[in-house]
Amino acid sequence: MTPIALSVNGRKIQALVEPRTHLADFLREHCRLTGTHLGCEHGVCGACTVLVDDEPARSCLTYAVQCDGLAVQTIEGFDVDPIMQELRTAFSREHGLQCGFCTPGMLIAARDIVRRLPDADARRIRVELSGNLCRCTGYLGIINAVESVIAARASKPTAVASAAAATPPAPLQAFAPTGEVAPVSMATPAAALEEVRTGWTRLRRVLWWQDRRRRYGRSLRTFLQWSPASTGPS
């Protein structure tokens, strides 16, 4: 056990943790802050996104011992945050959630986009949110919600002026290469080591799908059996 002292949502907390306890488990089980959700526990789904020292981070890929002396902010810590207030209203209005599982991570990622990218368009928002998976909304409601908050803030007189466009570089000139990057020998990668990666990728996919099936299998089957003909107006 390792002693740590950190701040969670502004509260000073001291605890003894096992080094292997990741931040999300620490928040949920020690601090009883269950707003941080755990989906995949290997950095793919984004549900566990929290702020560590004011920057979004995967709390499943951050161990609690690493946060000794740092400030952590979870979804429970945004009650009076002005951007989060606007985002909550917009998510509600635009149908940016259904089951709500992804929403804590989605909101923290969305707030980061609003703060960091005041010029983001719908496409950029999509790219920026690609690290947060949602299985209900089809993302459109979420994108619309974030876009509407950015638009509302841009129309305020205090909005930050956009940066000037960079000048494009000159076209490439023909030349005879001399300072060539040192040639690389055709190294023979050990077959066993290749298999680590292949195995890892495959295992990740299998585990991800198993998890999805366990969580949503029944509702997916119900959805697939549903058809307009069988439930249409009689």
Partner 1 sequence: MKAARFDYVRPADVGEALAALAKAEGAKILAGGQSLGPMLNLRLARPALLVDISRLAALQQVEDTGRTWHIGAGVTHARLEDARGRLSGGEMLCEVAAAIAYRSVRNRGTIGGSLAHADPAADWPLALAALGASVNVRGPTPRNILVAHFIQGAFTTTLAANEIIESIDVPKLSRAGRYGFYKFCRKTGEFAEASAAAVFDPESGVASIFLGALRGIPQPLASLAQQVARQRKIAASTEAVNQAIAQSVRGLDAVERSMATAVVTRALMQVLAP
Tokens (6 digits) for 214: 């366990």
- Residue labelled with tokens 């909550």: 88
Count CB atoms within 10 A of the CB of residue 15.
17
Distance in angstroms (rounded) separating the CA atoms of residues 21 and 4: 12
| 81 makes contact with partner 1 (CB under 8 A) | no
Signed CA dihedral, 49, 51, 56, 61: sign only:
negative
Provide the mask over 145-174, with x wherever binding to partner 1 is found by CB under 8 A and - wherever it is not: ------------------x--x--xxxxxx
Amino acid letter, 60: C
Strands in 55-58's sheet, in edge-to-edge order, are 11-17, 2-8, 71-73, 49-52, 55-58
| 210 makes contact with partner 1 (CB under 8 A) | no
Tokens (6 digits) for 3: 């002693």
| 183 makes contact with partner 1 (CB under 8 A) | yes
| 68 makes contact with partner 1 (CB under 8 A) | yes
Identify which of residues 8 and 24 has a Cβ nearer to partner 1 in the complex.
24
Provide the mask over 38-57, with x wherever binding to partner 1 is found by CB under 8 A and - wherever it is not: ---xxx--x--x--x--xxx
Signed CA dihedral, 76, 18, 203, 218: sign only:
negative
Of 26, 27, 31, 58, which one interacts with partner 1 (CB under 8 A)?
58
Of 11, 197, 202, 213, which one interacts with partner 1 (CB under 8 A)?
197
Site residues for partner 1 per CB under 8 A? 2, 18-20, 22, 25, 41-43, 46, 49, 52, 55-58, 60-63, 65-66, 68, 109, 112, 116, 126-128, 130-132, 163, 166, 169-184, 186-190, 193-194, 196-197, 200-201, 203-204, 207
